[in-house]
Chain A
Amino acid sequence: MADLSSNLAGIKSPNPFWVASGPPANTAYQSHRAFEAGWGGVVWKTIGTPIVNVASRYSALNFGRQRMIGFNNIELISDRAPETNFKEIAEVKKRWPHHAVIASLMVETREEWHEFVKRSADCGADGIELNYGCPHGMCERGMGSAVGQQPAVAERITGWVMEAATIPVIVKLTPNITDVTAAARAAKRAGANAISLINTINSITNVNLDTFVPEPTVRGQSSHGGYCGPAVKPIALNMVQNCAADPEVGLPISGIGGIANWRDAAEFIALGATNVQVCTAIMHYGFRIVEDMKEGLSAYLDSKGMKSIAGLCGLSVKTLDQWQNLDLNFQRVARIDYDKCIGCNLCYIACEDGAHQCIDLLDPASLGVGLGPGRVPFKVVPKVREEDCVGCNLCSLVCPVDQCITMVEIDNGKPKMSWSDHQAKVASGQMKPLPPHP
């Protein structure tokens, strides 16, 4: 069994699965339940000057039969008194000394930051997370993403925190920014110990077509909400990789954004995260999901011969490069496995209307295609014209059957040549420019 224990900038936890700051991390009661279920850490719902929340607060994007593929909220930071939160953190730490409890903080003035940082350490929190991300409500008061969107401001405020910090400090970054590494670098310059990303994304999930008011609705009005859930994972992965690949950042990363199972977690870790934080999936299914996360990640590490999470961390970071460094001479084509093809012809119409018109519909007799017993007979069969196939992948993506259309590498004997190589060779007269596609 691979070792799942985690150490983020000195904050230790029995596994890399933390409950992210949010509604599931609001109380001692929830923290106890989370740890009992097997979570490795809890980032307490952001503590600050108490606020008042509205109803309703959440809205969801459903896709087909899948509920909450995207989720948005206009809930603010904790609406409980700071002393209650700090007192409960102390209780939780007493009962769970080896689990990580992080105090997420959001206040305004230097004095307030000093006070809250000190109180966090005093109550026994293992670390502090600075909430520079919240894209609604708090930013209008000059906090949350209003801070995260301005690296200079974030750097100054992080500096205030570091003046008082005695425990590790994590800066939580907002994705509502052009270049997330600018904010990450600011955190580094200010002396932060780690970064966590992403916070939620500005969004409107949907408009009620009867009332014309977007959701969530508060007495005939709505507000921009913070988007999260499975739909944001690709954005989060990109930003995590950006930070992990940037030599000027060089900070441990806690990955956040659409993580719902061990596979998602493994992807974040492979792209440079040390651990991961989960919120929406818990809001959807409860704390119990962590059991599969731990078991699955452990089995995966075992299957790869990795003894610990460290073996996986960052393995994929360098496989991402700029487009100009990709090999122009690499060739692959789509190939259809007729034992699996069900004859829906979605590959045909996708290629015909949406790509490069290189699939024909043919009489199966002309292909000599055999079908297994009991199969619905084909009327026509899609056939890839390999000499015209540009290898774009679209057909294999729309195909509803696993492993039916695969992309096959074609050995064309050509050496690797990137666009940069091409430009250099053309400039030096070693070759003529590649002709455009006819």
Chain B
Amino acid sequence: MPLQPLLSAEKAAANMAEIHPPMRPQEALVEAERCLYCFDAPCIAACPTGIDVPAFIKKIASGNDAGAARTILTANILGASCARVCPTKVLCEGACVLHDRDEKPIEIGRLQRHATDFVRDHHLKVLQPPAKRNGTKVAVIGAGPAGLGCAAELAQLGYSVTILEKEKLPGGLNTYGIAYYKMTPAFSLEEIELVKSLGVEIRCGVAVGRDVSGADLQQEYKAIFVGIGLGEGHRLGVPGEDLPEVLDALAYIKRVHAEPLDRVPVGRRVVVIGCGNTAIDAVSQSLRLGAEHACIIYRRGASDMTAYDFEYELAKKEGAEFHFHAAPVEVLHREGHVSGLKLVRTRVTGAGTLEPIAGSEWIEPCDMILKAVGQEKQVPLLKKLFPSLKLNDRGAVAIDPLTGATNLAHVFAGGDCANGGREVVNAVGEGKKAAHGIHKFLSGKSQPYPEQPSRLGAQSGASGSGLLHPIRAHELEAELARKNHAPRKPGAPQ
């Protein structure tokens, strides 16, 4: 049977409703009051865009919601979507000192949403385009989080920025790839209006390499930011993979976003292959679209999965089943349509590699298979655009993490095409750092804004904590081990 939509529009919309409600005003006040207002707070260092978290929270506590939103958006132009999609439990909230005070960490993500919702609901403009443009034109390839982060920063520094986007709509992953119940495409587009309001031009439906060549861009623009993200999903390499009901999970999520919900076909029994956060989104979306049964197949164990614990818990709560140590062998079909997936148990060898356990095969009946096993790097496109651009051995653009600079003087890069695939907030942060790299390249001036004070006294970065990859606490620790912070006065006792 070909796949059919299973739910009415109303039912699907209800299922897709946001799982995290906004804070009521008093809830936000009470929560904001709990913040200790740490000095040089670890939550700032844990945010890839270096939002001054204690500052914005204290502004909420005083009733200065617009000021709070300004603090957020100054550091992170996509602060509203990051408030919804950031894995705050492992970023800012994970670093909250209240963990050690036998207290729940501050709900930073929800407070951030409270503040950014406030300016949205009241149509307040808390960021302004510069009074005067400097006339220098910069191109940004890709209107995803990295490109938007870079473009917004450059526009505020006075540049004329044009974003070229191959899709019909801007936003990249934010518009096409986030689970509905976290954020809708409409919300993403509304947020992008803020970037446009700073004077950024976004040309959609323009594919670089097809409609515009790299040489064209280099001729017209003084600098180029590459924020093209990742490409097609990886192939499984098993027989039957090309059947019509075997889909790439991200492409399927994109379809959920691009079409009316009651026209999106879904299987009654869905198997998702892979166990990253995309797999979780895919399995949850399938269930919310009416799938009667959905499971995740992962060739390694639960401790190896890349999905966050809270995403895993969410999927289990939604009713998803998890089969660990199982690998696909063959997609089975009946009359040209998927009827099941043949699987085999796996075990880890002494050398750490995986091997199938002979004779352990079984068949999981299903009528739809979603592949969430990672995405290809866009090596061919990059080679076509900039033949001499240096890529690293994993096929990502090699950049200076502090400036986004590549081996080509006028080309900068950031986001998934450079980091191999991380969070939205990482992409925004890298785009922002690249904007300051571009500014320095074009003007020779380095702009102190928007540096945040660092707990290590490092002031080297254009944004964030000034650390190379300010994201996880354990990374901060490793960074710390390389730095020595001298006492302020010599002769102090140690």
Residues of A bordering B, CB below 8 Å: 64-65, 342-346, 348-349, 360-367, 374-377, 379-380, 383, 385-388, 400-401
Are A366 and B484 in contact, CB atoms less than 8 angstroms apart? Answer: yes
In whole Å, how far is A151's beta carbon from the nearest beta carbon of chain B? 44
Are B494 and A366 in contact, CB atoms less than 8 angstroms apart? Answer: yes
Interface centre among A364, A376, A380, A383 (most CB of B within 10 A): A376
Against A, the Cβ 8 Å flags (1 = close, 0 = not) of B476-492 are: 11001101110111001
Give complex CA distance A64, B487 in Å.
Answer: 35
Given A376-B97, A380-B485, 6 more pairs with CB closer than 8 A = A65-B30, A344-B39, A345-B39, A376-B99, A380-B455, A383-B492
Are A360 and B100 in contact, CB atoms less than 8 angstroms apart? Answer: no
Question: 13 A-B pairs, CB-CB below 8 angstroms?
Answer: A343-B100, A345-B455, A360-B488, A362-B487, A365-B480, A366-B494, A375-B99, A376-B94, A377-B476, A380-B485, A385-B493, A386-B493, A401-B101
Residue of B nearest to A350 (CB): B39
List, in ascending order, chain A residues with CB within 8 A of B37's CB. Answer: 346
Give complex CA distance A65, B489 in Å.
Answer: 40
Interface centre among A364, A374, A379 (most CB of B within 10 A): A379
In whole Å, how far is A360's beta carbon from the nearest beta carbon of chain B? 5
List, in ascending order, chain B residues with CB within 8 A of A361's CB. Answer: 40, 455, 457, 485, 488
A367 with B494, Cβ < 8 A, contacts A360-B487, A361-B40, A361-B485 known: yes
Are B481 and A365 in contact, CB atoms less than 8 angstroms apart? Answer: yes
Q: Is B38 an interface residue (CB 8 A)?
A: yes
A377 with B473, Cβ < 8 A, contacts A64-B33, A400-B36 known: yes
Give complex CA distance A401, B481 in Å.
Answer: 27
Are B39 and A348 in contact, CB atoms less than 8 angstroms apart? Answer: yes
A379 with B476, Cβ < 8 A, contacts A345-B38, A363-B484, A385-B489 known: yes
In whole Å, how far is A55's beta carbon from the nearest beta carbon of chain B? 25
A379 with B481, Cβ < 8 A, contacts A343-B100, A360-B489, A385-B493 known: no
List, in ascending order, chain A residues with CB within 8 A of B487's CB. Answer: 360, 362, 366, 383
List, in ascending order, chain A residues with CB within 8 A of B48's CB. Answer: none
Give complex CA distance A376, B94 in Å.
Answer: 8
Are B38 and A344 in contact, CB atoms less than 8 angstroms apart? Answer: yes
Give complex CA distance A385, B490 in Å.
Answer: 11
Which of B94, B97, B492 is A344 in contact with, Cβ under 8 Å? B97
Give complex CA distance A342, B473 in Å.
Answer: 14
Are B101 and A360 in contact, CB atoms less than 8 angstroms apart? Answer: no
Which of B33, B39, B456, B492 is A65 in contact with, Cβ under 8 Å? B33
List, in ascending order, chain B residues with CB within 8 A of A376's CB. Answer: 42, 94-97, 99-100, 473
Against A, the Cβ 8 Å flags (1 = close, 0 = not) of B21-45 are: 0000000001001101111111001
Give complex CA distance A377, B37 in Å.
Answer: 18
List, in ascending order, chain A residues with CB within 8 A of B119's CB. Answer: none
Are B473 and A343 in contact, CB atoms less than 8 angstroms apart? Answer: no
Residue of B nearest to A382 (CB): B39
In whole Å, how far is A272's beta carbon from the nearest beta carbon of chain B? 36
Are B456 and A380 in contact, CB atoms less than 8 angstroms apart? Answer: yes
A342 with B40, Cβ < 8 A, contacts A64-B33, A363-B480, A379-B456 known: no
List, in ascending order, chain B residues with CB within 8 A of A348's CB. Answer: 39
Which of A345, A363, A375, A388 is B483 in contact with, Cβ under 8 Å? A363
List, in ascending order, chain B residues with CB within 8 A of A387's CB. Answer: 493
Are B492 and A385 in contact, CB atoms less than 8 angstroms apart? Answer: yes
In whole Å, how far is A1's beta carbon from the nearest beta carbon of chain B? 34
A379 with B455, Cβ < 8 A, contacts A342-B100, A346-B39, A365-B480 known: yes
Interface centre among B37, B39, B492, B494 (most CB of A within 10 A): B39
Give complex CA distance A344, B492 in Å.
Answer: 22
User: In residues 93-152 of chain B, which contact A (Cβ within 8 Å)?
Assistant: 94-101
List, in ascending order, chain B residues with CB within 8 A of A365's CB. Answer: 480-481
Give complex CA distance A376, B101 in Å.
Answer: 10
Residues of B bordering A, CB below 8 Å: 30, 33-34, 36-42, 45, 61, 94-101, 455-457, 473-474, 476-477, 480-481, 483-485, 487-489, 492-494
In whole Å, how far is B212's beta carbon from the nearest beta carbon of chain A? 45
List, in ascending order, chain B residues with CB within 8 A of A367's CB. Answer: 494
Are A379 and B492 in contact, CB atoms less than 8 angstroms apart? Answer: no
In whole Å, how far is A388's beta carbon from the nearest beta carbon of chain B? 8
Q: What 10 A-B pairs are tightest by C-beta distance, nearest first? A: A379-B455, A349-B39, A342-B100, A345-B39, A344-B38, A342-B97, A64-B33, A363-B485, A65-B33, A344-B97
Residue of A nearest to B54 (CB): A344
Are A360 and B97 in contact, CB atoms less than 8 angstroms apart? Answer: no
List, in ascending order, chain A residues with CB within 8 A of B101's CB. Answer: 342, 400-401
Give complex CA distance A349, B38 in Å.
Answer: 9
In whole Å, how far is B39's beta carbon from the nearest beta carbon of chain A? 4
Give complex CA distance A362, B489 in Å.
Answer: 11
Are A343 and B480 in contact, CB atoms less than 8 angstroms apart? Answer: no
Which of A344, A360, A363, A385 is B36 in contact with, Cβ under 8 Å? A344
Which of B42, B94, B489 is A379 in contact with, Cβ under 8 Å? B42
Give complex CA distance A362, B456 in Å.
Answer: 8
In whole Å, how far is B38's beta carbon from the nearest beta carbon of chain A? 4
In whole Å, how far is B488's beta carbon from the nearest beta carbon of chain A? 5
Residue of B nearest to A404 (CB): B101
Give complex CA distance A401, B98 in Å.
Answer: 10
Residue of A nearest to B467 (CB): A379
List, in ascending order, chain A residues with CB within 8 A of B61's CB. Answer: 64
In whole Å, how far is A334's beta carbon from the nearest beta carbon of chain B? 14
Are B473 and A362 in contact, CB atoms less than 8 angstroms apart? Answer: no
Give complex CA distance A278, B37 in Å.
Answer: 35
Give complex CA distance A154, B474 in Å.
Answer: 71
Which of B30, B477, B492 is A377 in contact with, Cβ under 8 Å? B477
Residue of A nearest to B455 (CB): A379
In whole Å, how far is B312's beta carbon from the nearest beta carbon of chain A? 20
List, in ascending order, chain A residues with CB within 8 A of B493's CB. Answer: 385-387
Give complex CA distance A401, B94 in Å.
Answer: 19
Give complex CA distance A366, B41 in Å.
Answer: 20
Give complex CA distance A364, B456 in Å.
Answer: 11
Give complex CA distance A376, B485 in Å.
Answer: 19
List, in ascending order, chain B residues with CB within 8 A of A380's CB. Answer: 40, 455-456, 485
List, in ascending order, chain A residues with CB within 8 A of B39's CB. Answer: 344-346, 348-349
Interface centre among A345, A346, A366 (most CB of B within 10 A): A345
In whole Å, how far is A339's beta carbon from the nearest beta carbon of chain B? 10
In whole Å, how far is A350's beta carbon from the nearest beta carbon of chain B? 9
In whole Å, how far is B465's beta carbon from the nearest beta carbon of chain A? 9
Give complex CA distance A401, B103 in Å.
Answer: 11
Residue of B nearest to A385 (CB): B492
Are B97 and A343 in contact, CB atoms less than 8 angstroms apart? Answer: yes
In whole Å, how far is B480's beta carbon from the nearest beta carbon of chain A? 6
Residue of B nearest to A353 (CB): B39
Interface centre among B37, B41, B94, B485 (most CB of A within 10 A): B485
Residue of B nearest to A341 (CB): B100
Residue of B nearest to A65 (CB): B33
In whole Å, how far is B453's beta carbon from the nearest beta carbon of chain A? 11
Give complex CA distance A400, B41 in Å.
Answer: 14
In whole Å, how far is B32's beta carbon from the nearest beta carbon of chain A? 10
In whole Å, how far is A358's beta carbon from the nearest beta carbon of chain B? 9
Give complex CA distance A377, B481 in Å.
Answer: 12
List, in ascending order, chain B residues with CB within 8 A of A64's CB. Answer: 33, 61
Residue of A nearest to B42 (CB): A379
Residue of B nearest to A344 (CB): B38
Give complex CA distance A379, B488 in Å.
Answer: 16
Residue of A nearest to B63 (CB): A209
Give complex CA distance A366, B94 in Å.
Answer: 25
List, in ascending order, chain A residues with CB within 8 A of B485's CB. Answer: 361-363, 366, 380
Give complex CA distance A360, B95 in Å.
Answer: 21
Are A379 and B480 in contact, CB atoms less than 8 angstroms apart? Answer: yes
List, in ascending order, chain A residues with CB within 8 A of B99's CB. Answer: 342, 374-376
In whole Å, how far is B472's beta carbon from the nearest beta carbon of chain A? 10
List, in ascending order, chain A residues with CB within 8 A of B484's CB. Answer: 363, 366
Give complex CA distance A388, B42 in Å.
Answer: 27
Are B98 and A345 in contact, CB atoms less than 8 angstroms apart? Answer: no
In whole Å, how far is A120's beta carbon from the nearest beta carbon of chain B? 47
List, in ascending order, chain A residues with CB within 8 A of B45's CB. Answer: 379
